[in-house]
Structure 1
């Protein structure tokens, strides 16, 4: 049995279907289950927009001391960049369990309630600080609108949008028998072992042809693929190739 890492505790919404069978291999990992190239482009674009807003903020604050001017702009840029990272570079939890019956994968992402608490307290405290500084220099009122004001609006949109919270909360359980797989590939562009499959989906009531991305660390790809190969049907292709990483769906 191979255990690459200590397994994460599954959330109560997810359970192993073949928990009574001995596990042949198991591990868990947090990974970005989407097209990282597009996400990185989005991050670069938004980071440029934030930089532009910071430069505007810097020009507006020309009446204050240089040290306060620089430090407030650096603080604003760093904070907004951190928030942007939390949006564009989210990760999902994956747990894999291999048995004689096949491969099980549990995927989940819980809504980050800590982010709401942080945004609420930060926007409130920052607003108080900026209002106090505005008694010294009225230009700080503009900073209060740009910084704490935007953070407060972000908190309100996140806290009261059920659609947004549902988008940030996912629970999936995937189960495949070894005979379902039609191709095994070691990805050359991601830390992924890719398995194409073809099986009857009782939920959809039809035959489904798709692929299963098995996320792992760089040094684990070869070991995982070589472990899987003997359990596949004879003649199943085993290749190295660039693979797509589509978003998971319910």
Structure 2
């Protein structure tokens, strides 16, 4: 049985800084750490355009209907898969709350499953086109354009260290309770926003910013109440819309 809610394990590149302190609460989650409204709007706009383009591509050719249908379906699947990978990316988060503050790690590993999927999908499409080529040699052109291009894409992704580094991230964050200047419980997403002010090392100036805490709906009450109880007296704790600025 697949366990889609299995807790995420920290990668070896990340370690808890305050692991010696008893934890008040810990959890992990995969979340979209960006403005999802814009991303969703972009997805649906592009999806409609891709669907219209696929329909036009299919209707533009009257001959070789089987080849045309397969090539159109291939175009539709590949382009939409690329679109979803851009608009619905998720980051891995692990949170740990202690008496000292809020500590969390975020990371994104290179998606090796994408390479496996692309390899098997390319192989299946190549077999289909080779079989169709026994009926009509014209399908060999389709095999070069479709599965051939996908094979080149697979090789470039699998062998490009630069591309793999671009798809990999590891970050560690910690905020003391005294550094939090405001906490906002989002009304438009299941998350919190923390504004903070941290002294710059060797400087009289402060670093001002905001961090986002993601959690599941079933943990919302427990997380928000725990954070509220540990904020310093006088720290604003409000409810409102949060626009993720990442």
TM-score range, shorter chain: 0.7 to 0.9
Q: Is the 8 A contact 1:184 1:225 kept in 2?
A: no
Q: Is the 8 A contact 1:14 1:106 kept in 2?
A: yes
Q: How does 1:98-247 map to 2 (within 5 A)?
A: 98-141=97-140, 143-144=142-143, 147-202=146-201, 207-247=206-246
Q: CA deviation at 1:110?
A: 0.3
1:121/1:7 CA distance change after superposition, 3 Å:
closer
Aligned to 1:19: 19
**1:53-101 deviation per Cα after TM superposition (whole angstroms, max 9, x unaligned):** 42244236533466x7656644652454234323321111111100111
1:112/1:6 CA distance change after superposition, 3 Å:
closer
Q: C-alpha distance in 2, partners of 1:139/1:203?
A: 70
Secondary structure of the 2:51 match is helix
Secondary structure of the 2:244 match is coil
Q: Is the 8 A contact 2:180 2:195 kept in 1?
A: yes
Q: C-alpha distance in 1, partners of 2:87/2:122?
A: 21
Q: Is the 8 A contact 1:198 1:210 kept in 2?
A: yes
Q: C-alpha distance in 2, partners of 1:153/1:37?
A: 34
Q: C-alpha distance in 1, partners of 2:157/2:55?
A: 27
Q: C-alpha distance in 2, partners of 1:53/1:175?
A: 47
Q: Is the 8 A contact 1:187 1:193 kept in 2?
A: yes
Q: Normalising to structure 2: TM-score of the pair?
A: 0.84
Secondary structure of the 2:242 match is coil
Equivalenced residues, count? 242
Q: CA deviation at 1:35?
A: 1.4
Q: CA deviation at 1:236?
A: 0.7
Q: CA deviation at 1:51?
A: 2.2
Aligned to 1:34: 34
Q: Normalising to structure 1: TM-score of the pair?
A: 0.82
Q: Is the 8 A contact 2:71 2:146 kept in 1?
A: no
Where does structure 2 lack aligned partners over 5 or more consecutive residues?
Answer: none
**Greater Cα offset, 71-80 or 238-247:** 71-80
Q: C-alpha distance in 1, partners of 2:6/2:111?
A: 23
Q: CA deviation at 1:20?
A: 1.1
Aligned to 2:91: 92
Q: Is the 8 A contact 2:74 2:146 kept in 1?
A: no
Q: C-alpha distance in 1, partners of 2:127/2:205?
A: 59
Secondary structure of the 1:137 match is coil
Q: CA deviation at 1:232?
A: 1.3
